[in-house]
Chain A
Amino acid sequence: MMPDLFPALPEFFLVCAALVLLMVGVFRRGETADVVGVWATLALGMTALLVLAGDGERVTTFGGMFVTDRFAVFMKILVLTAAAMTLVMSLAWMRQERLGRFEFSVLILFAVLGMLMMISANDLMALYLGLELQSLSLYVVAASHRDSSRSTEAGLKYFVLGALASGLLLFGSSFVYGFTGQTGFDRIAEILKGVEGTSLGATVGVVFILAGLAFKVSAVPFHMWTPDVYEGAPTPVTAFFAVAPKMAALALLVRVLTGPFAAMIGQWQQVVVALAVGSMVLGAFAAINQTNIKRLMAYSSIGHVGYVLIGLAVGTATGVRGILVYLALYLAMNLGVFAVILSMRHKGRLAEEITDLSGLSKTHPLVAAALAALMFSMAGIPPLAGFFGKFYVFIAAVEAQMYVLAVIGVLSSVVGAFYYLRIVKIMYFDEPVEVLDPPPGRSITLVLTASSVVVLFFFLYPPPLLLQAEAAAASLFPG
């Protein structure tokens, strides 16, 4: 029987687009990086339109291995936006650094395809396929600056550790299969619901799967690759890593834990709490001593994942709504910050130290103001967007009476405020050492402006995002 292909239309379009662009890149004469890049961005946009074209009802296909619902739509849009934005910024940056290669755009497209499949995965096999497609593309992208030892080291580290994580994930999946005899999420859920008490096999399996996914979202203690890879990879890659793959992996994590393993919440909840607390605390404290801004952003992302995991640990629709709001706003903030980082250079030379920002308020007052707003938002200071992200997550925890978790979250965001505000201090109160060059392209300025506007004015009209997030979260908890 021919499976229903329609629910997977965006993925089909994307795979075709990626292949066509690969051909274009290979066979077209002359410099192809720009053309492919532009078309790749357009392809991402088109995919997003196709995602939105669906009516959002829950549909499964490929024998139940692939699912689309409101949750998937919401997450796919976030991933596609993140990917498109970073791709746009990357093109300007690559051009300036003379690193332009059409393969970069194509690899990004394949990674995004993997992510879309992760989001829609409804089977342990589909999960693994999506994850590996994404990961393999990312390994290569991380090492794409192949003349740089740091970049290749980053790629290699990521690959080795990623392989280990995949191993853990597969091992866990096999346990689950061994215990339930199923790989489909819906069937696993049914079987586990019928189990009295707890079973060692399923529990160990869940823990291993969790560990594998925790690696992808860089939650403590599976985070250690993050700072090294963020620092070593070319900056656009870092910008990409910081958002899109995180979103996809978190979506997957949410779907896996609230779907097939919903009945085992008593078991996985504590693991997630441990991951959340560890990530929040480490993200807050370890960033304090960082001097490299990309490394700082790595710890920042670890911390933010911690907050997101609070929403997951709660395990309710409110919690998931918190996650979705958080991720959407995190996307806006992070794109803005990386827009600034991408434009940091002295006389054409790349600058990555935090101190390079000193006196930015005098040399580039607008950029400094935007970055200051973003930093305040990252620190979670009202009425900026970042505050609302944290607010909805914490409120979910409080509603679920997980007060300790909420308190730890609030406290660690206080510590985290230290290093965000330190950047503001450096920009506004330190004397400029060297004047930064103007941003390399209009696209970067545009992204920075857009994200600042979202961060600054989100509080004026939050309902659209809240309602969408609520509907998306509800689709995971039928009945």
Chain B
Amino acid sequence: MDVAVVFLPLCGAFLAGFFGRRLGDTGAQLVTCGGVGLAAVLSVFIFAEVALGGGEHTVPLLTWIQSGTLDVAWALKFDTLTAVMLLVVTGVSFMVHVYAIGYMHHDPSIPRFMSYLSLFTFFMLMLVTADNLVQLFFGWEGVGLASYLLIGFWYDRPSANAAAIKAFVVNRVGDFGFALGIFATFVLFDSVHFDTIFKAAAAHAEDHMTVFGMEGHALTIICLLLFIGAMGKSAQLGLHTWLPDAMEGPTPVSALIHAATMVTAGVFMVARMSPLFEHSETALMVVTVVGASTAFFAATIGCVQNDIKRVIAYSTCSQLGYMFFAIGVSAYQAAIFHLMTHAFFKALLFLSAGSVIHAMSGEQDMRRMGGIAGRIRVTYAMMWVGSLALAGIPFFAGYYSKDIILEAAFGAPSGVGRFAFWMGIAAAFMTAFYSWRLLFMTFHGAPRADEKVMAHVHESPAVMLVPLVLLAVGALFSGFIGYETFVGESREAFWGEAIVVQAAHDAIAAAHHVPVWVKLAPLVVGIVGIALAWLFYIRLPVLPGVVASMFNGLHRFLLNKWYFDELYDFLFVRPAFALGRSLWKGGDEAVIDGIGPDGVASASRELARRFGRLQSGYVYHYAFAMIVGVAAFVTWFMLFHLG
């Protein structure tokens, strides 16, 4: 069972990928959905056994690397953290697999798509079941690969290829930090095995190590390096630029990879490493600040974007920020709780958006939508559920998870907790605003699409709607059900040793004792945000234009995403291209090829031509050459060897 849950998706991917032509579209859909579906069922059992029954265990598979003291094995670790992730990953993945049957049915390469999806699922499962850093890195890179393949799935679109490359390259920056973090861990602990490291963490709490000639607190260095990796994968401020562009991929991909699962791998990884992070105040502070800033920053951009998927993408970015600052204040449980609820409602939002796009014949710009609420009622209802959950309206999933995060931030003993709290409140306000902006622009008002598109508007088939409904159930109830176990009184029994929090840091305990206004604040700003959106886009539709022109500079600043892409383009991309071009044209072609192979080759040909011309065919030329030769030799001797 334990092995099957991880490898069933791989089998599905293998069959669909290599025998897709033989299996046909339906066959490929069957094996992949079957594999992931079965894995989803199994993970429910595993969750019951491990998380609820307390049966933590590790399944050793193979020895991988054995070199000196480095000992890396393939093993599947099952504890509560893994079990939760298994549930989320296989559950959402199965929904997306089913949904993709309907969404992709026009596409010519269905087996390839299904195979990539299953492959991604396998890598993600490998990541969450890893029992050492190297195996985690394997899964980490594997999901990166799958993400690359899926973003660039429509490889005939230059923009998709560019987005895929961008995602890969930006992640490389993070992964570099991650890899260094793993190296540093090995240097300090002489092991990359989780249980070994965690047991030894306290003993090394005061150690120092030297990096780049600077001595520093060892665990802080390791944690910061690992966090750089998490920033890349989870699109945190600075390394977030790839996520909005990743929306070039098909919508099911955005839902699965770029909302529900892969981008949360960073959160998972930091939560997994909680025994280390707990020993480094500095690292926790950095995590808090980065997370809070991202939550705020991404929300500001989300307010002005017009592409329906990009709005949700920035929303994802912002919600990931929440998770990180939850971690930063040691509320790991809250972060994972939010990770789970977010997976449900964000996948729901993305898939609903996909349903809208499907209905609008591929249109993604909200400015050319509107007035379709009555035509696609189910999708419309699903969008409402998702948005309500996202905005944290009471009794929807997001209400529980987001509020506990904000309360924990307020209650945290560290100073940056307050900063995170206010950033979070501001982001909550904007979240509500842009969510309803999206709803209103997409579904209400007068139709802004042309007649041909409007005539074609239709509700999606059942194969797409059923996953939506199931996810909506999750978005409705997962918060209510999970609250007590994840972050309530029974949390310590539930999490066991999977998450370690020092008593002095326990922000969740503090969260239950914050003032009442703190508990109410998210709800209030959420409702205000919704009201404002209503005012802007239903009541007074001229207002957005007026506001935009009043704050023209700010609007443009936000519309251009704080000019991050332009900055990076200027700082890194263009210098890199210039350097590459000069090395290519100047270094390789002119110098190495020119003087080397090409130069020698053309010189040889030229020489050959000249030698050929010497061969005139006239006897007297030949005789002349002989005589000259003899004369030259004799002269040479007379000049240099006699006398």
- The answer to whether B622 and A200 have CB atoms under 8 Å apart is no
- The answer to whether B619 and A160 have CB atoms under 8 Å apart is yes
B493 CB within 8 Å of chain A: no
A249 CB within 8 Å of chain B: no
Docked pose: A412 CA to B153 CA in angstroms? 51
- A164: B residues at CB distance < 8 A: 623, 626-627
- A456: B residues at CB distance < 8 A: none
B617 CB within 8 Å of chain A: yes
- The answer to whether A289 and B642 have CB atoms under 8 Å apart is no
B641 CB within 8 Å of chain A: yes
- A224: B residues at CB distance < 8 A: 614-615, 621-622, 625-626
- B625: A residues at CB distance < 8 A: 221-222, 224
> Among A161, A211, A270, A285, which residue has its beta carbon within 8 angstroms of that of B629?
A211
10 pairs of A and B residues whose beta carbons are closest in the complex: A286-B611, A221-B629, A224-B622, A288-B608, A285-B607, A289-B608, A211-B630, A207-B633, A285-B608, A289-B612
How many chain A residues touch B (Cβ–Cβ < 8 Å)?
35
> Among A161, A198, A208, A227, which residue has its beta carbon within 8 angstroms of that of B619?
A161
- If A198-B641, A221-B626, A415-B604 touch, whether A211 touches B619 (CB-CB below 8 Å) is no
How many of chain B's residues touch chain A, expressed as a range?
20 to 34
Q: B623's closest neighbor in chain A, by CB?
A: A164
- B641: A residues at CB distance < 8 A: 198, 203, 266-267
| Shortest Cβ distance from residue A117 to the other chain B in the assembled complex, whole angstroms | 24
Q: Most chain-A CB neighbours within 10 Å: which of B626, B627, B628?
A: B626
- The answer to whether A222 and B629 have CB atoms under 8 Å apart is yes
Q: A411's closest neighbor in chain B, by CB?
A: B600
- The answer to whether B605 and A204 have CB atoms under 8 Å apart is no
- The answer to whether B626 and A157 have CB atoms under 8 Å apart is no
A271 CB within 8 Å of chain B: yes
11 more CB-based (< 8 A) A-B contacts, given A207-B633, A228-B615: A161-B622, A165-B626, A198-B642, A203-B637, A207-B634, A222-B626, A222-B629, A224-B625, A267-B637, A285-B611, A287-B608
> Among B605, B609, B627, B633, which residue has its beta carbon within 8 angstroms of that of A274?
B633
For chain A residues 133-179, which have a beta carbon within 8 Å of chain B? 157, 160-161, 164-165, 168
| Shortest Cβ distance from residue B122 to the other chain A in the assembled complex, whole angstroms | 42
B516 CB within 8 Å of chain A: no
Q: Most chain-A CB neighbours within 10 Å: which of B611, B617, B625, B627?
A: B611
Number of A-B contacts (CB under 8 A): 79
For chain A residues 266-322, which have a beta carbon within 8 Å of chain B? 266-267, 270-271, 274, 282, 285-290
Secondary structure type dominating chain B contacts = helix
- B609: A residues at CB distance < 8 A: 289
Docked pose: A451 CA to B13 CA in angstroms? 55
- B611: A residues at CB distance < 8 A: 282, 285-286
- The answer to whether A288 and B605 have CB atoms under 8 Å apart is yes
- The answer to whether A161 and B628 have CB atoms under 8 Å apart is no
> Among B608, B612, B634, which residue has its beta carbon within 8 angstroms of that of A204?
B634
Q: List A residues at the B interface (Cβ < 8 Å).
A: 157, 160-161, 164-165, 168, 198, 200, 203-204, 207-208, 210-211, 215, 221-222, 224-225, 227-228, 266-267, 270-271, 274, 282, 285-290, 415, 418
- The answer to whether A208 and B608 have CB atoms under 8 Å apart is no
Docked pose: A204 CA to B631 CA in angstroms? 10
B571 CB within 8 Å of chain A: no
- If A221-B629, A282-B611, A286-B615 touch, whether A161 touches B623 (CB-CB below 8 Å) is yes
| Shortest Cβ distance from residue A299 to the other chain B in the assembled complex, whole angstroms | 9
- B630: A residues at CB distance < 8 A: 168, 207-208, 211
Q: A278's closest neighbor in chain B, by CB?
A: B629
Docked pose: A193 CA to B611 CA in angstroms? 41
- A270: B residues at CB distance < 8 A: 636
Docked pose: A293 CA to B619 CA in angstroms? 22
> Among A225, A285, A289, A415, which residue has its beta carbon within 8 angstroms of that of B622?
A225
> Among B608, B619, B642, which residue has its beta carbon within 8 angstroms of that of A157?
B619
- If A222-B626, A224-B626 touch, whether A285 touches B633 (CB-CB below 8 Å) is no
For chain B residues 584-643, which have a beta carbon within 8 Å of chain A? 604-605, 607-609, 611-612, 614-615, 617, 619, 621-623, 625-630, 633-634, 636-638, 641-642
